[in-house]
Amino acid sequence: MSKRADKAAVGLGAAALLMAASGLLSRLLGYGREILLAYFVGVGHESDAYFAAFVLPDLLNYLIAGGALSIAFLPIYSQALERDGEDAAARLLATTLGNLGLIVLVATGLLWVFADPLIRLQFPEFDPETHALTVEITRIVAPAQVFFFLGGVIKATLFARGRFGAAALAPLIYNLGIILGGVLLYPKFGIHGFAWGVLVGAAAGPFLAPFLDSRRDGWPGARIALLDPGFRRYLWVAAPLMFGQSLLTVDEWFDKWFGALIQPGAVAWLSYARKLMLIPVAVVGQAIATAALPTLTRLFEQHRSDELAQTVERTLRAALGLAIVGGAALAALADPFVRFAYERGQWEGSDTVVVASILRILAFAVPGWIVQQIAVRPFYARGDTWRPMILGTVVVLIAIPLYWGLSTSRGVEGLAWAGVIGMTANAAATLLLARRLHQAPRLAPLLNSGLRACLVAGPAWVATHFFAGWAFGGAGGAGAVELPGGTAGALLEVVSMGAIFAIVTFALLPFLGDPELRSLLARRLRIGRSRA
């Protein structure tokens, strides 16, 4: 690998490390948020309504490409900044903020007005009480999309300048807002307190944090000019992200739509399990993908195609290995993890059994989630959002009968397996398309990395399983170790089982692991020794 590619990888690695730390801290705070929610409301019509209330705002966010603003806007802004200078970049930013800001304000108002019939259309099986509560919560959280949108545009400009601090801070503030809303407002306003926390957290984190960081570059204001050439180009790039579909987004909608048809509580069970599954996805996949896009965009703009291909392959190999190991760990620790995270207050032991079984299934989707998030970035770096989104839309359409069939035949577990199959197929199809169009990544080395990771993760899972059976028993049997009940006992199980998994993993990694994972381990050990 060339020295320039190594330098790009180092810069990407530093940004990825920052975003991974942010993702981990954000997930820990997210735990606190979900723990509070589970404690106060458990599983029932309130939790179903709360989780369902986010579908319409999330759909609005998707239709305006709010969740993908950094993806669509960053390459265009980077090109304007590099080729045309600061004034042109500021003009593009002002136009995008003005035009889309007006659109999102109008769309949010319409969503607020028509929330009642739209929710009835999506969740016809909800009883009147659950339906009314869903409408109320939806109307509280819907305006948060304005802050997500404005912050997303500004965040893309910071990425183009190599600044990731505000993006790392934003989700932490957002989750803190929800936690404070639950702690301070639930006693008086019930579950609405969490919803108000969402709104305040969105304003303070995703919007205010990048806004304050961007002030050092000057604030361009807002400009409405719908026919501006730069804005038209943005719409062309963002259109497939607005109107196309991807299981990265639609999988959650399917869980809620089809889950609501299964039985009361199914939406909440799936949502609670999904939150835990997304921890390794955020720490590995989202962090690496977020950090990779500016680097890949820069390599493409500078016509360094060989280094671009090397960086993509190297990143995917390391991420796939981490994803397989992380997914195996999640499956091994599912039972005590769910007990530790949720089993208190209004949460019942029967809920733990169901959510843990769903989580064990969803753990198999972790590699697909992580690979898909990273595999689409080389397309976006080239300004090509159409082909991966067309492919994603085809996969979604094919997957609809799968979700429907498995949810009706096997209930919530079938719905979880549909997500695993669909996401894995989507990731594989994206890799094949990338290989055909870009000649990268090479599939044989990627497959080799995955197989090597399985050789490490498999024995670690087996060792953890047998250790848990010996130490803690199972299925009514007594174990060799007597643990305290409640959260303390669950935490001791998580820590001890996690330690066994880690010991076996780190013992096997130098011998069976992929070179990319071994290199990552060596760097971490060097950092540890230097800090000792």
* Look-up of token digits 């965040």: 155
CB 322 within 8 A of CB 43: no
On the question of pLDDT at 24 being above 80, the answer is no
pTM: 0.75
Closest among 320, 321, 329, 279 to 461, alpha carbons compared: 329
Tokens of 261: 């048809």
Confidence at 157, pLDDT banded by 50, 70, 90: confident
CB 142 within 8 A of CB 112: yes
On the question of pLDDT at 532 being above 50, the answer is no
> What pLDDT was estimated at residue 520?
61
Tokens of 497: 């089982």
Least confident of 215-229, 369-383, 496-510: 215-229
**Amino acid in position 40:** F
Confidence at 12, pLDDT banded by 50, 70, 90: low
CB 382 within 8 A of CB 305: no
Domain assignments of the chain as residue spans, ordered by start: 43-243
**Is 460 or 214 the better-scoring residue by pLDDT?**
460
> What pLDDT was estimated at residue 303?
84
> What pLDDT was estimated at residue 66?
52
* Contact residues for 525 (Cβ-Cβ < 8 A; gap 6+): none
CA 298 – CA 320 distance, rounded (Å): 24
Mean pLDDT value across the chain: 86
Confidence at 500, pLDDT banded by 50, 70, 90: very high
Confidence at 515, pLDDT banded by 50, 70, 90: confident
On the question of pLDDT at 525 being above 80, the answer is no
On the question of pLDDT at 302 being above 60, the answer is yes
Closest among 458, 430, 423 to 446, alpha carbons compared: 430
On the question of pLDDT at 403 being above 70, the answer is yes
On the question of pLDDT at 357 being above 80, the answer is yes
On the question of pLDDT at 180 being above 50, the answer is yes
Least confident of 54-58, 236-240, 399-403: 236-240
CB 115 within 8 A of CB 135: yes
Chain segment 255-290, per-residue pLDDT in tens: 999 999 999 899 999 999 998 999 889 878 877 877
For 68, half-sphere exposure in the C-beta direction (CA atoms, 13 angstrom radius) is 30
DSSP 65: T
DSSP 81: I
Closest among 523, 512, 244 to 391, alpha carbons compared: 244
**Is 173 or 158 the better-scoring residue by pLDDT?**
173
> What pLDDT was estimated at residue 531?
43
Instruction: Centre a 10 Å sphere on the Cβ of residue 67 and count the other Cβ atoms it contains.
Output: 17
On the question of pLDDT at 524 being above 80, the answer is no
Percentage of residues of the chain with pLDDT beyond 70: 90
Give the DSSP per-residue string, 315-382: HHHHHHHHHHHHHHHHHHTHHHHHHHHH-STT--HHHHHHHHHHHHHHGGGHHHHHHHHHHTHHHHHT
CA 476 – CA 49 distance, rounded (Å): 35
CA distances from 303 to 136, 209, 247 (A): 51, 33, 31
Tokens of 223: 């400009």
